[in-house]
Amino acid sequence: MSNCKVLFLLFRGLFVSRSSLIFENLALRQQLTVQQRTIKHPKLKRKDRIFWAWLSRIWPQWKSALIVVKPETVVKWHRQGFKLYWRWKSRAGKAGRPKISREIRDLIRQMSRENPTWGAPRIQSELKLLGHEAADSTVAKYMIKHKKPPSQTWRSFLKNHVKQIAAVDFFTVPTVRFQILYCFIVLRHHRRRIVHFSVTANPTAKWTAQQITEAFPYDTVPRYLIRDRDGIYGNFFQQRVKNMGIREILVAPKSPWQNPYCERVIGSIRRECLDHFIILSENHLCRILKDYMDYYNNCRTHLSLDRNSPSLRDIEPPSKGKVISIPQVGGLHHVYKRVA
């Protein structure tokens, strides 16, 4: 039935008697009942749905006249129409929440990746301090989703504990008379500083334990001590270390790479110092090593320490004056400073 015909019948009803309308309504309902018995699922077009959705809003008794479909179907049509209306009203080009910039999205992902224990509120606070405004839901949307529970990296773990780690090791030096001298060094991993060294011709567990006591006085005792499995670290040494509250970490057999900092320092001592001397005696070796340790701790630069020395050196700008050269370790090395 066309819309024009529906409007015609509506106006016609204004001029027809009430009894005629009653009989006409009865006849139409009887025909609809017959049609409902013969056609189980009548096919309705979009304009039919629009008509019933409109009629349901202006006529309270619309359910009593509904036969072709159930009232719930008309309610569903109305809801679909409401969705289509708001979809049209919210179409592209209309005002809404502004898009977040690529810079902020990349910053959120960077913070989430570098700080796996941070949540959206923490990242939002950091963004606010950087002059960026973003809602919690926006931050959570662009955060990196971690498959496993948040955990710090090995680099972060070692960095957090490096101040409590020390390492020890022996190396041998032959004298001019082919006597073997044993040099014992103690290295703090933080700042790669050599805190103690000593030389002897006859190392024992008791002598080694005494060196540990001298290396860590008072409150400078580390939590962990890395060493190899040499028999020189006997029961006396182990008991002394335990009484000092130090936990020993033993490297695997024949695995010097597991004590890398000490091995690297020993290599530097040989290449930069001992390979250029003929050792005459134990005292001679002690004097040479003392000069080199002073140079190593206070002057020698390290790539891993941001190109600075274990004891921090100040950066001297050109305004401080000209550069002078100061010999170190008998002239094998030099340190450069500015003087007015």
pLDDT at 161: 84
pTM of this structure: 0.59
| Amino acid identity at 21 | L
| Contact between residue 186 and residue 166 where contact means Cβ atoms under 8 Å apart | yes
pLDDT surpassing 80 at residue 191: yes
Give the pLDDT band (50/70/90) at residue 223. very high
| Contact between residue 68 and residue 49 where contact means Cβ atoms under 8 Å apart | no
pLDDT tens per residue across span 225-247: 999 999 999 999 999 999 999 99
pLDDT at 174: 96
- Higher-pLDDT residue of 20 and 281 is 281
pLDDT at 99: 78
Domain locations in the chain as residue ranges: 3-88, 102-146, 159-313
pLDDT at 133: 87
| Amino acid identity at 299 | C
Q: Angle 160-166-167 (CA atoms, 0-180°, nearest 5)?
A: 135
Give the pLDDT band (50/70/90) at residue 249. very high
Give the pLDDT band (50/70/90) at residue 149. low
Distance, first Cα to last Cα, the chain: 106
Computed over its alpha carbons, how large is the radius of gyration of the chain?
Answer: 44
Average pLDDT across the chain, whole number: 83
Give the pLDDT band (50/70/90) at residue 60. low
User: Which parts of the chain fold into alpha helices (H)?
Assistant: 3-12, 18-38, 46-58, 71-89, 102-114, 120-129, 136-142, 154-161, 205-215, 235-243, 260-272, 282-298
CATH number for the region 159-313 comes to 3.30.420.10
Three-state SS at 168: strand
**Judging by DSSP bridges, how do beta strands 180-188 and 247-250 pair with one another?**
unpaired
d(CA 74, CA 50): 9
pLDDT surpassing 60 at residue 6: no
Distance, CA of 305 to chain centre? 23
| Contact between residue 162 and residue 189 where contact means Cβ atoms under 8 Å apart | yes
Three-state SS at 61: coil
pLDDT at 205: 95
Which of 236, 239, 222 shows the shortest CA–CA distance to 186? Answer: 222
| Amino acid identity at 135 | A
d(CA 198, CA 186): 9
What is the DSSP-derived secondary structure letter of residue 298?
H
d(CA 159, CA 265): 19
| Amino acid identity at 246 | I
d(CA 197, CA 115): 40
pLDDT at 68: 61
